[in-house]
Amino acid sequence: MAEKHTSSSPKTYKLGELFCGPGGIALGAHNAANKVPGIKIEHAWANDYDPTTADTYRENTPGASEETVYVGDVRELDTDALPPIDGFAFGFPCNDFSLVGKQKGLEGKYGPLYTYGIHVLKSHKPEWFVAENVGGLSGANAGTAFPYILREMQRAGYTVVAHKYRFEEYGLPQARHRIIIVGLHNDLIASGKEFKVPKPTTPEPSMMRTAKQALTEPPIPEWATNNELTRQSEVVKQRLAYIKPGENAFNATDMPEELRLNVRGAKLSQIYKRLDPNKPAYTVTGSGGGGTHIYHWEEPRALTNRERARLQTFPDWYKFIGNKENVRRQIGMAVPPDGAQVIFEALFNTLMENDYDGIEPNIDVDKRIRELEKKEGTLF
The catalytic residue positions are 94
Degrees to nearest 5, angle at CA 111 with 106 and 115: 95
User: Cis peptide before 280, with omega less than 30 degrees from 0?
Assistant: no
Q: In whole angstroms, what is the distance from residue 118 CA to residue 159 CA? A: 13
Degrees to nearest 5, angle at CA 189 with 157 and 42: 80
Cβ neighbours for 153, distance < 8 A, ≥ 6 positions apart: 118, 121, 129, 131, 160, 181, 183
Q: In whole angstroms, what is the distance from residue 324 CA to residue 332 CA? A: 12
Cβ neighbours for 316, distance < 8 A, ≥ 6 positions apart: 220, 221, 224, 306, 310
Contact 160, 153 (CB under 8 A): yes
Q: How far is CA 360 from CA 189, 199, 200, 297, in A?
A: 18, 9, 11, 36
Residue 294's Cα: distance from chain center in Å? 18
Q: In whole angstroms, what is the distance from residue 380 CA to residue 374 CA? A: 12
Tell me which DSSP letter residue 160 carries: E
Strand partners for 116 = none
Q: In whole angstroms, what is the distance from residue 84 CA to residue 199 CA? A: 32
Determine the angle formed by the axes of helices 145-155 and 114-124, rounding to 10 degrees: 10
Strand partners for 42 = 14
**Beta strand ranges found along 143-286 (DSSP E):** 158-166, 177-185, 197-198
